[in-house]
Every structure is written in structure tokens, then in C-alpha cells.
Amino acid sequence: MSKERKGRTETLVGLFLLLGFGVLGALVITFGRVNTAFGKPYELTVIFQNVSGLSSGADVLLAGAKVGFIANTPQLLGDSYRVAVKLKVQESVKIPRKSRFVVGSANLLGDKYIDVLPAADMDVSDVWQTGEIIEGSRSGGFEELATRGGEVMDELALSLKQIQNLTTSINERLLNETNVQNLSETFANLKETSASFKKASLSLDTVLGKVGDATDRAGKAADSLQKISKSVSDGKGSLGVLLHDKETGENLKSLIYNMKKSGILFYKDKPLPESESRSR
């Protein structure tokens, strides 16, 4: 091989190497987020419950525009089972405090990114500062719904298992043959007691009816006695005449005196002595 041809080959290899390094540099600039458009980014830390599929270098979007990137692999926070994600945000972009940070999915392949959603009533003068820690929000997308649906189904299955265990326990402890027999006997006794109570109630009604009749008769007797007493007081009737007529009274006194004096066999009708009449 001539020196001229060898030199041409070395030149071509050098050009290809230079082109390769140029492409590699361009990729580093593009995907490493170190181009001059970001200037000097500031750092925010966002805490999430779950960032499955999110990796270092993923985009940070604000209202759909790229404003930063994820600076590191998400880190687990001790025993809290939550995840801290560090973001690098373009220096010229200020994020209002009322904005929500959610994990979004870019396509069906599951590429994840951080989506910043400003609130409708945001205050543009109140923004997050470098180094601050932010509570992330649930994404609310289809994947979140599927996750929540799985959790709900697990809770439902657990509840059904508990109901099944409770039903089994009730069947074994309460609805066994002995308890069912005791319950049947109790209902039978209640039935008999109810029948006895019904009979007693009927007897009581009869007694109360008789008491009512007796009360009515006593009332009528009291009225009759009151009328007799009034007749006697007024001197009406035989008893009234005997008690209020003077002549009848004198005759009665004379009869009693003569019977005491002569007896029944030797009775003589004599007038009552004046002394006896006055004494009486």
C-alpha cells in the first residue's frame, strides 16, 4: 500500500471519528439538558406516593411546555414508603405555589414525565423557590384509576371474606341444633303464655262487668235509701207518720207502757199516766 493511499484512509477514519464524537456531543447536549436554553436551573423536590416508571432525565412540563427535567433517580424516603423526586427547572420559569405536580404518561409505551398544572386562582407573585419541598398529587389518569380499582377490589374481597367468616361463626355458634331447639321451645312457651294471658284478660273483663253491675245496683239502692230518708224526714209514708205524728207517738208509748205493766195475757188498755207522758 502506498503512503498516499494510507494517508487518505487515516484521514477518512479521523473524519468518521470526529463525526461520531460530534453526534455524541449533540446527543449529550440534547438529552442531558445542558444547552444554553436552560441557563442555570434551580432545584425543587417533589414527594409522591408512587412514581412507577419515572426515571432520571424525564421531562418536566408546565401547561404542556418543557421547562425542566428530573435530576436523579427517585429516592425512597425511609419508612414512610414515599418517594422524593428532584427536579431541575429552567431559571426563567417561575411555578406558582398553587400548582399541582402529577406523574403523567406520554404514550401507550408508558414513558412518564412530571406535569405541572397551575390552579385557576393562582397568584403569579407567589412562586416556589429553589430548594423547597413540595407534596405531589395523584395523577387521576387511567393508570391511577386502574390502581385505585385494584385497591378497591382487594378491599372488597377482604370485606367479603370477613362477611363469610362472620356468617360461618353465626351458623356454628348461634344457629346450631341446640340453640334452634331452645329458640323453638321459647316461642312455644311465649305462645302458651299469650293464650293464658288472653283467657285471663277475658275473665278480668267479666269480673269488671259484674263489678260495674254491682256498682249500678248499689247506686240505685243508695238513691232509694236517700228517697226513703227524705220521705221520713218529711213525715211521709208509714215510717214517717210513726216518727212525726204526735197522736201515733202517744198511742205507741201507751202500748209499750201497758205491755210492760200487765203483760200480753193480762193486757189492759189504760191511758198513759201523765207523769209517764211527761217523762217521755
pLDDT for the residue numbered 194: 77
pLDDT tens digits along 100-157? 999 888 766 667 898 999 888 888 889 999 999 999 887 655 555 655 666 677 788 8
pLDDT at position 276 is 54
Question: Which domain range does residue 62 map to?
Answer: 42-139
Asked if residue 187 has pLDDT above 60, the reply is yes
Q: Domain count of the chain? A: 2
**Final residue belonging to a domain, choices 139, 161, 183:** 139
Torsion of CA 267, 272, 278, 280, to 10 degrees: 30
Q: Mind listing the pLDDT tens digit for each residue in 22-40?
A: 877 777 666 554 444 556 8
Please state, in angstroms and rounded to a whole number, the distance separating the CA atoms of residues 244 and 215. Answer: 33
Residue 197 lies in a domain: no
Task: Give domain status of residue 212, yes or no.
Answer: no
The answer to whether residue 206 sits within a structural domain is no
Kindly report the backbone phi and psi dihedral angles of residue 52, in degrees, each rounded to the nearest multiple of 5, phi listed first.
-55, 130
Q: Which residue has the higher pLDDT, 91 or 221?
A: 91
**Residue 65 belongs to domain with CATH number:** 2.40.30
**Residue finishing a domain among 139, 166, 181:** 139
Q: Which residue has the cell 329458640?
A: 183
* Domain end among 139, 166, 199: 139
pLDDT at 45 over 90: yes
